[in-house]
Amino acid sequence: GQQLNQSPQSMFIQEGEDVSMNCTSSSIFNTWLWYKQDPGEGPVLLIALYKAGELTSNGRLTAQFGITRKDSFLNISASIPSDVGIYFCAGQRYSGGYQKVTFGTGTKLQVIP
């Protein structure tokens, strides 16, 4: 099955720095989602985006739904050690009678205290 192009694959940053990651696709999606996964745990939903051009914030997180509906980015401001984890984007669209969800390959974030 298709996977989204997510970049970067991994990042090492200093505590306090801002982080940016993005996802692109050749397909159009109706919804973009961003998840965070800690080691050995299930992904936790961070932000959901429903309209093209939408910019949504959740604390230090900001995400945008691209105008073309084929891309999204996630920014984390003033990173802290607990931001460590793997971040996944996911695009959703209704296809063939069900809600088809396509996931990115993940961005592994390491924060150096």
Partner 1 sequence: DGGITQSPKYLFRKEGQNVTLSCEQNLNHDAMYWYRQDPGQGLRLIYYSQIVNDFQKGDIAEGYSVSREKKESFPLTVTSAQKNPTAFYLCASSIGVAGELFFGEGSRLTVL
Gap between the Cα atoms of 93 and 12, Å rounded: 32
Which listed range, 11-19, 35-43, 58-66, 74-82, lies at the site for partner 1 (CB under 8 A)?
Answer: 35-43
**In this structure, what is the dihedral angle of CA atoms 83, 69, 9, 38, given to the nearest 10 degrees?**
30
Which listed range, 14-22, 27-35, 56-64, 75-83, lies at the site for partner 1 (CB under 8 A)?
Answer: 27-35
Binding residues for partner 1, total number by CB under 8 A: 27
Q: Supply the minimum distance, in Å, between the C-beta of residue 78 and partner 1.
A: 26
Answer yes or no whether residue 104 interacts with partner 1 by CB under 8 A.
yes
Q: How far is CA 90 from CA 10, 22, 35, 96, in A?
A: 17, 11, 8, 18
| Nearest alpha carbon to residue 76 among 21, 24, 29 | 21
Return residues touching partner 1 (CB under 8 A). 1, 3-4, 6, 30-31, 33, 35, 40-45, 48, 88, 90, 92, 94, 97-99, 101, 103-106
